[in-house]
Amino acid sequence: MKAAMSLVGSQGIVSATEVLLAAAVFCLVFLLIQSLRQHVPKGLKSPPGPRGYPILGNVLELRKDPHLALTRLSQKYGDIMEIRIGTRPVLVLSGLETIRQALVKQGEDFMGRPGLHSFQYISDGQSLAFSPDSGEVWRARRKLAQNALKTFATTPSPTSSSTCLLEEHVSKEAEYLVAKFLQLMDEEKSFDPYRYVVVSVANVICAICFGKRYDHNDQELLSLVNLSHEFVEAAAAGNPADFIPVLQYLPSRTMTLFKDFNKRFLHFLQKIVKEHYETYEKNNIRDITDSLIEQCMEKKVEANGATQIPKEKIVNLVNDLFGAGFDTVTTALSWCLMYLVTYPHIQKKIQEELDKTIGQERRPRLSDRGTLPYTEAFILEMFRHSSFVPFTIPHSMTRDTVLNGYHIPKDRCVFVNQWQVNHDEKLWKDPLTFKPERFLNAEGTEVNKVDGEKVLLFGLGKRRCIGEHIARWQIFLFLSTLLQQLEFSVCDGKKVDMTPIYGLAMKHKRCEHFQVKQRFPMKSMN
């Protein structure tokens, strides 16, 4: 009986009453801490939200497809709501106008990044995209990286004054893909296009950043680009290890792979930057890496005195630029192919537009974007319908502020639900239906720019993706070049699985049953 009323510990006998009393004290202290954290100035209110469980918060509701769970909750609590992941409160923003108000009109307040556990392993915690820093030095380096990416992408090609370097690199890689896909059809009858698309896209950004392309059988590059899912899974909004400290000390296969991927990728970039330093010539700036080295070695400083780059930071900037031009494009093209084989009538309409506008005598160019409205509408609808970047990288408050009457305290972590906006019935008729025509005018001759700007994928405001324009250009060039020459389908009796796999960028299940057919005899094109 005595044993039933007590617990045996390492220090002796502890009564059950004492255990219950200690638990009650703990709960009271916990609630007191929470109430202090939630202090709201007079006349304001805290955002509403679900109660959640003690210690765990709402983490159980977010275990599967957090973008869908938070969209359902927003229908009950509104466009501004608060959840808890573990004991940490998180602000969740939905609704296009609310998000624009926060990230654009009140952008200075919302431009921080939370110091999440996983972020410290990305580029040694020095990533522009993930760094909590948002001060003047960060702003100047972001601008420098943005300008370097744009400048080298739009520099006129040395072989043709009518095209830029980006266009030249994408055209070459797209032509390689066409030939490779046809070769695979001769050898294997069906294939998985992703493993070849991923290397071609990586080669474009490698050409701009490093001045070289890699063979599709290069094992070092293949081992990195084909394992990018290890990055996007752990870096996604809502990773419990980022919010529940005890999980950081427990074995986690996801975090182990994430750390390993980041170490290997950083080592890959460090080797390239080292080679660039050894072969650097002041009067021969070959690529973005050389340009950044020039900034470092010649100590160029703009009027604000903040753009000088310490030598050790160059690899971090290169890492950001590579990331900005790689994963989004790869994922977008992969989703494009899935939609094309799922809706062959849409594929045919794009090809009819290409045949009518460009024909077969030359490759598509960036300058063709305005004359291919249905192709552009298809890309916008792919962005909207897949919403493969369901949340932006989490934001953080730089100071106390008020949003739509709610008090938002400094350092509050913020999730921005892009998936909800892209499927909001207030903005889109039949949002679950894939329909490129929704972006065209009545005649089908122009893209409605206002509707196009409602689609969220690259974020908004001061933390908007620096590679957005480059990514959009690449997707258009790759897609139009492939569809000009090839028709995509899957083997008879096979279907593609469009179920997204949650992550920072949502992937679909790989499909090894793709087939292609050449649309007209291969010939040299200008």
**Residue list, annotated binding site for heme:** 465
Q: Which string of b and e fits 197-229 if b means at least 16 CB within 10 Å?
A: bbbbbbbbbbbbbbbebbebeeeebbebbeebb
Report helix, strand or coil for 307.
Answer: coil
Strand order in the sheet with 88-93: 80-85, 88-93, 413-416, 395-396
Q: Judge contact between 401 and 391, C-beta under 8 A.
A: no
> Rounded distance, CA 182 to CA 174, Å?
12
Q: Hey, what are 449's tokens?
A: 């720019």
The tokens for 254 are 């996801």
Contact indicator for 379, 354 with CB cutoff of 8 Å: no
> CA-to-CA distance for 262 and 224, rounded, in angstroms?
9
Determine whether 192 is exposed, middle or buried from the number of CB atoms within 10 Å of its CB (0-12, 13-18, 19+).
middle
For residue 172, CA distances in Å to 123, 168, 207 come to: 30, 6, 11
Q: What angle do CA 294, 297, 302 make, to 5 degrees?
A: 70
What is the three-class DSSP state of 444? coil
Beta strands 486-490 and 401-403, pairing class: unpaired
Residue positions forming the annotated binding site: 465
Region of 510 please: left (phi>0), alpha (psi -120 to 50) or beta: beta
